[in-house]
């Protein structure tokens, strides 16, 4: 298990040494997002704007117009919902080089409850022209995402959770913006997952294998632009399940459905079913909202039976 | 301090800007004449004297920046940019037209000389803070100007930005508040008061200067005398919405409406009359 926020801050620091144009902003959550570590190493290139998230997005835009590569971080709920208009008008529309790296996405935030459990951020950011949307699955991948988005010119939204996550990728160098990965081949059904749910999808694949079902497991770190080729491959199985720690409206499921265009296959979406979250232990909440390998396997079995 | 010749030249340019505002909005059939006319003198002073820029190289790194936070007033900005040579004055005829680049609100990707896209009120000052911050980081001596509406400062983000500007000691940031007293639904003080506005900005740690926003000499002198005292500066410019066109002055109705043909002819003849008077 490793924490993606730790991976984020280490990768940021490494990037900071390599590229003097990197500037990091936070809005009084620099200890939680861990950007404070960057600020300690590079005090001249780190600004805490206080509890003023929309202002942070505007400042990020202004810095970007002057050639800076700006990483702006806070919790996903504030980074997107509170700042939607600022992001839309001042970052996405002028297509500026701002990387919004939001932490604490999803119900697994736990005790803070619905006010802090952002489940609509992918939908919001996906809807914005020019915006790239990424949800890495583990710390290794997060360490690849940071330099990749810094190299890419344009606005990006990266969402990560709060909790430690199982390490899926042993090696660096796999992540490319816009590419999905087949983690396991299989012909009976395809399970496409993003972010925190990829680890669950892998476990679901093992459960299914024991029961004689051969599932293709796909990790889709970039939700926008979606990897159409991988969706084509998944379609060949005739059945697709999408998994995301996000509302089933407007997220990965919709992105995959859109990629199938006029020629869809049978599809089910695993995600939070149009409700707000609530306070609780992360694992209990994931269980309650069906965001587990067992639930994925159950749905897969149902689909394969028909 | 500034000589009569310069003042007169800028007055002429302000009149040219006013004529182009009326003309382009008339041809577009929609737009915001009131708030564009109220900033014409300020824009003229900025573009014909105060600001450093290069129309041949709109993204020149050392240029002064302008954030038109009240983006609906872009006909004033577009007119100045055209007169300065960023694009042909002819293009102003195509304001707001499909397939043409002069958008109804400023777009930095389409219009050379526009430093940031605006239109949703309340964001511009934050962006200006970012630009000014970058200037400090890079040890550059450019300045960032931001033009705000007096209704616009009812937006909360303005005060987040104001707070951050003084915190970061951005004395390279100069905001200009277009204090024309009117917003869409009525006078600012009736809709949602902003007074005591000078006091509010100074409480946020800014240098505050109040001027007559139509007195060219006063505007020029004010820009010239801005202090470098680690504080951002706000110029509260008292203006008249619709200034220069008698039937638009101080009215709500021309906030966001194009003139009719008769109104257009009347407005142009008034402005031309003023031009003739300047020449004698
Ligand atoms: C966030 C936002 N809300 C509402 C509007 C619609 N709107 C356009 S202009 C305007 C009034 C602006 O008043 P003021 O700032 O005083 O500008 P001026 O009078 O100089 O035109 C409003 C409400 C907008 N553009 N952005």
Nearest CA in chain A to B135: A66
pLDDT band at B1 (very low <50, low <70, confident <90, very high): low
CA distances from B246 to A223, B190, B241, B271 (A): 55, 24, 11, 10
Q: Which contiguous run of DSSP H or E holds residue B6? A: helix B4-28
For ligand 1, atom 21, the nearest C-alpha belongs to B35
Indicate the angle between helix axes B4-28 and B261-279, nearest 10 degrees.
Answer: 170
Task: For residue A121, give how far its alpha carbon lies from the nearest alpha carbon of chain B (Å).
Answer: 21
B192 lines ligand 1 (CB under 6 A): no
Each residue's pLDDT tens digit, A188-222:
999 999 999 999 999 999 999 999 999 999 999 99
**Is A304 within 8 Å of A188 (Cβ atoms)?**
yes
Residue contact A89–B61, C-beta within 8 A = no
Task: Using a pLDDT cut of 70, give the percent of chain B over it.
Answer: 99
B75 lines ligand 1 (CB under 6 A): no
Each residue's pLDDT tens digit, A14-46:
999 999 999 999 999 999 999 999 999 999 999
Structure tokens belonging to residue A136: 């890495």
Residue B193: CB atoms within 10 A of its CB come to 11
Each residue's pLDDT tens digit, B164-223:
999 999 999 999 999 999 999 999 999 999 999 999 999 999 999 999 999 999 999 999
Residues B150, B133: Cα–Cα separation, whole Å = 24
Q: Shortest CA distance to A54 belongs to which of B150, B20, B157, B272?
A: B157
Q: What phi, psi does A270 have (nearest 5°)?
A: -105, 125
Each residue's pLDDT tens digit, B56-99:
999 999 999 999 999 999 999 999 999 999 999 999 999 999 99
Nearest to A54 among B61, B117, B126 (CB): B126
Nearest to A54 among B116, B134, B157 (CB): B157
- Residue B34: what pLDDT? 98
Nearest to A94 among B108, B144, B167 (CB): B108
Residue contact A95–B109, C-beta within 8 A = yes
The ipTM of this complex is 0.89
* Residues in A lying within 8 Å of B, measured between beta carbons: 23, 44-45, 47, 49-50, 52, 54-68, 85-86, 88-90, 93-95
Residue contact B130–A61, C-beta within 8 A = yes
Beta bridge partners of A192: A218, A242
Round to the nearest angstrom and report the end-to-end CA distance of chain A: 37
Beta bridge partners of B174: B145, B233
For ligand 1, atom 18, the nearest C-alpha belongs to B35
**How many residues does this entry show for chain B?**
280
Token pair 């909440």 in the structure block, residue: A285
Residue contact B134–A63, C-beta within 8 A = yes
Average pLDDT, chain A: 97
Residue contact B160–A90, C-beta within 8 A = no
Q: Which contiguous run of DSSP H or E holds residue A189? A: strand A189-193
Ligand 1 centre distance from Cα of residue A58 (Å)? 18
**Is B228 within 8 Å of B207 (Cβ atoms)?**
no
pTM (whole model) above 0.80: yes
Residues B53, B278: Cα–Cα separation, whole Å = 28
């Amino acid at each position: 298990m490793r924490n993606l926020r730790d991976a984020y801050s280490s990768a940021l620091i490494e990037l900071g040494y390599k590229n003097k144009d990197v500037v990091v902003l936070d809005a009084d959550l620099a200890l939680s997002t861990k950007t404070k570590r960057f600020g300690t190493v590079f005090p001249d290139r780190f600004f805490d704007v206080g509890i003023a998230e929309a202002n942070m997005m505007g400042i990020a835009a202004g810095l970007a117009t002057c050639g800076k590569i700006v990483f702006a971080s806070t919790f996903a709920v504030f980074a997107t919902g509170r700042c939607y208009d600022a992001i839309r008008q001042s970052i996405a529309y002028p297509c500026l080089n701002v990387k919004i790296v939001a932490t604490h996405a999803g119900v697994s935030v736990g005790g803070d409850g619905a006010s802090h459990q952002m489940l609509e951020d992918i939908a919001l950011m996906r809807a914005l022209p020019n915006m790239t949307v990424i949800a890495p699955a583990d710390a290794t991948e997060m360490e690849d995402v940071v330099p990749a988005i810094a190299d890419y010119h344009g606005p990006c939204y990266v969402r990560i959770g709060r909790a430690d996550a199982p390490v899926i990728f042993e090696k660096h160098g796999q992540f490319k913006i816009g590419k999905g990965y087949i983690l396991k081949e299989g012909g009976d059904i395809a399970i496409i997952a993003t972010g925190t749910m990829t680890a669950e999808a892998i476990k679901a694949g093992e459960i299914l294998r024991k029961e004689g079902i051969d599932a293709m497991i796909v990790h889709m770190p970039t939700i926008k632009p979606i990897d159409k080729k991988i969706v084509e491959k998944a379609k060949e199985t005739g059945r697709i399940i999408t998994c995301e720690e996000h509302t089933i409206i407007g997220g990965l499921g919709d992105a995959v459905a859109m990629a199938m265009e006029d020629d869809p296959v049978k599809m089910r979406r695993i995600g939070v079913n149009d409700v707000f979250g609530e306070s609780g232990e992360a694992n209990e909440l994931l269980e309650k909202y069906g965001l587990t390998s067992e639930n994925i396997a159950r749905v897969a079995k149902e689909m394969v039976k028909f | 301090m500034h000589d009569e010749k310069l003042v007169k030249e800028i007055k002429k340019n302000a009149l040219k800007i006013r004529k182009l505002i009326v003309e382009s909005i008339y041809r577009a059939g929609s737009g915001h004449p009131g708030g564009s006319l109220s900033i014409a003198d300020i824009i003229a002073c900025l573009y014909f004297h105060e600001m450093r820029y290069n129309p041949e190289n709109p993204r020149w790194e050392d240029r002064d920046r302008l954030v038109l936070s009240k983006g609906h007033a872009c006909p004033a900005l577009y007119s100045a940019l055209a007169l300065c040579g960023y694009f042909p004055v002819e293009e102003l005829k195509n304001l707001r037209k499909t397939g043409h680049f002069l958008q109804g609100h400023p777009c930095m990707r389409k219009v050379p000389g526009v430093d940031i896209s605006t239109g949703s009120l309340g964001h511009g000052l934050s962006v200006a803070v970012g630009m000014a911050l970058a200037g400090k980081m890079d040890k550059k001596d450019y300045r960032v100007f931001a033009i705000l509406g007096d209704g616009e400062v009812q937006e909360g983000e303005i005060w987040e930005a104001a707070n951050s500007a003084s915190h970061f000691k951005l004395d390279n940031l100069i905001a200009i508040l277009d204090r024309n007293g009117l917003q869409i639904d009525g006078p600012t003080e009736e809709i949602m008061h902003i007074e005591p506005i000078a006091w509010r900005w100074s409480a946020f740690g800014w240098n505050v200067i109040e001027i007559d926003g139509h007195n060219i000499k006063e505007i020029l002198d004010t820009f010239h005398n801005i202090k470098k005292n680690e504080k951002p500066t706000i110029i509260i410019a008292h203006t008249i919405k619709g200034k220069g066109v008698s039937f638009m002055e101080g009215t709500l109705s021309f906030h966001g409406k194009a003139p009719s043909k008769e109104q257009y002819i009347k407005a142009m003849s008034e402005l031309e009359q003023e031009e003739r008077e300047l020449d004698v």
